[in-house]
Structure 1
Amino acid sequence: MRRLVLAMQLMTRLPLPQVKADEQDFAAAIRWFPAAGIVVGACIAGGLSLGGRVDPWAGALLALLLWAGVTGALHLDGLADIADAAGAAHGDKTRLSLVLADPHVGSFGVVAVVLQLLTKLVLLRMSVGSFPAWWLIGVAMIARMGPLFWARWLPPLHEGLASRFRGRVTPMHLLGWSALALALGWWMPGLLMAAALIPLWTWWLRARVGGISGDGHGAGIEIMESALLAALIVAR
């Protein structure tokens, strides 16, 4: 149970009790990232439903605010860093690593975050009437399955918590969450796009970045959330 709490603490800004844990517990918390996504998705769905009682755009805006607020914009930060690095490196992996290590956000990162927020806002508005709000739970959960695969398939870029994730994900964890995702895909076919999105992001990171880091996880989650949300709308 403490590893679930740790996963929630790593992936959200929700008030949670402090738990005693060591480095192994923190690394193993990655197994529960999809469960944290269920909570994030429930918050977003609640905001969309509540705000939608006033106006569909109000529901979309409230859902977006909760999406960023509950996660502490953590994944948006990763998206900004990856965008800055990819935009400024021009294929030079050494320069890319230097840009990733820079704590400042550049113009590429700002543009990527703004476009991502606008994309989510429009997609959330389009989702109203297309499918039930609770389907957003599936979007947030499956997007957070990505880190389990990326940690398993990609070498770490540097030492840190993300590098320790790799040894804590086993094929059984991948199979277990994949089975749940397939079950959800029975009702929500658009979510099955994750079967292509996860390998595609793996390929892109390997080719352009050379491995995985916390930024790669965060950017991947953001991209998957938007893509899965769009897929649900199209599939309906």
Structure 2
Amino acid sequence: MKHRYRPTDFLTAWLVAVQFLTKIPVRLRALPSERQTALAVVFYPLVGVLIGLILAGFTQAVGFLPSVLAAALMVVAWIWLTGGLHLDGLADIADAWLGGWGEKERTLTIMKDPTCGAMGVLALIAGVLIKFAAVHTLLTFGGAALGLMIAPVVGRLVILWLFLRAPYVRKNGIGSPISTHLPKTATAGVLAIGVLLVILSVAFGFGLWAAAWLAGALMAFLWYYRRAWQRLIGGVTGDVIGAAVELGEMLTLLVMAGVLAWQMVS
């Protein structure tokens, strides 16, 4: 039987999404149900828009500073705003990928380990440096505000795609009830609309070539990423999804920064 949502379910789902994905203080009157938690996924891209708007506004606030300092402050603000939520996943999968030796159970065990290994630390440093360099490039060539609005949206759209296209392997994981109760039709619709709006925004802001490069790069990344983890552990976990958010954001920033720099010097 098809479940019908009440208007209050949508409000609760929105608040759950904001509370989970950001450090913005949100109070819930009651513990959300599993269905409300799953419905919150539909609002993830909208939370990405909220994050992007805040970062774009912060870009204007620090615009008077030297570009290197401004870029550093923006990356720090980004990490603070999201609580570094997905950076944790990036570190965990880096440790698990190297230390798992291709074994499913060993890989999953390493992901659950609360300590961070050498590979995890290196992945964190590399991720932050890549974001810093890309944001600095966008600041230098005048595309930071739009770039910082688009990247968080892409990262959250990646979550929707993975929940639709890959099985969740941990029965008691944080994403298990989401995978079970996910409203797939609504999620697919939001994903399609979100992708279209992102491509149009990039095309108008950075040009058709940038939109084409971004679409191609993201499709190649997601195809390989899902395939690699499906072969290794049979699907995805919260860490795998979280890391994909960071990697999707990095890839988006790199493509836009690279295309913009090429346009300016050619």
Whichever residue aligns with residue 107 of structure 2, its letter is L
Question: How far off is 1:19 after superposition?
Answer: 4.3
The more displaced of 15-24 and 149-158 is 15-24
Q: Does 1:103 align with 2:114?
A: yes
Match of 2:168 in 1: 156
Indicate conservation of the 8 Å contact 1:84/1:106, yes or no: yes
Partners of 1:12 and 1:142 in 2: how far apart? 16
* SS of corresponding position for 1:52: coil
Counterpart contact for 1:43–1:66, Cα < 8 Å: no
**1:140 maps onto 2:152 in alignment:** yes
Within 5 Å, give how 1:51-90 maps onto structure 2.
51-90=62-101
Q: Secondary structure at the match of 1:161?
A: coil
> Which residue number in structure 2 is paired with residue 214 of structure 1?
238
Q: Secondary structure at the match of 2:140?
A: coil
Q: Which residue of 1 aligns with 2:21?
A: 11
| Equivalent AA in structure 2 for residue 178 of structure 1 | V
Give the direction of change, closer, same or farther, for the CA distance of 1:5–1:172 in structure 2 (3 Å limit). same
Encode CA deviations 1:123-153: one digit per residue, 9 max, x unaligned.
Answer: 1111113324133111110111011111111
Structure 1: stretches of 5+ with no match in the other structure: none
Identity %: 26
1:32 equivalent to 2:76? Answer no
| TM-score (norm: length of structure 2) | 0.82
Mapped partners of 1:17, 1:191: distance in 2: 37
TM-score by length of 1: 0.92
Tell me which moved more, 97-106 or 16-25.
16-25
Q: How far did 1:191 drift? A: 4.0
- State the distance in 2 between where 1:158 and 1:191 align: 31
Q: Which of the numbers 18, 37, 50 marks the counterpart of 2:61?
A: 50
- How much does 1:63 deviate? 0.6
Aligned CA RMSD, in angstroms, stands at 1.8
Residue 86 of structure 1 contacts residue 208 of structure 1 at CA under 8 Å; is this kept in 2?
Answer: no
Deviations 1:37-92 (A, max 9, x none): 11212222233332231111121011111111011011000001101100101211
Detail structure 1 runs of 4+ shifted over 6 Å in the superposition. none
Relative distance call for 1:72 and 1:132 in structure 2 (3 A) is closer
Highest CA radius of gyration, 1 or 2?
2
Task: Specify every segment of 5 or more residues in structure 2 that has no aligned partner in the other structure, as ranges.
Answer: 1-10, 261-266
1:104 partner SS: coil
Alignment of 1:214-233 (within 5 A): 214-233=238-257
Instruction: Say whether the 8 Å CA contact 2:218–2:248 is kept in structure 1.
Output: yes
Partner AA of 2:73 in structure 1 = L
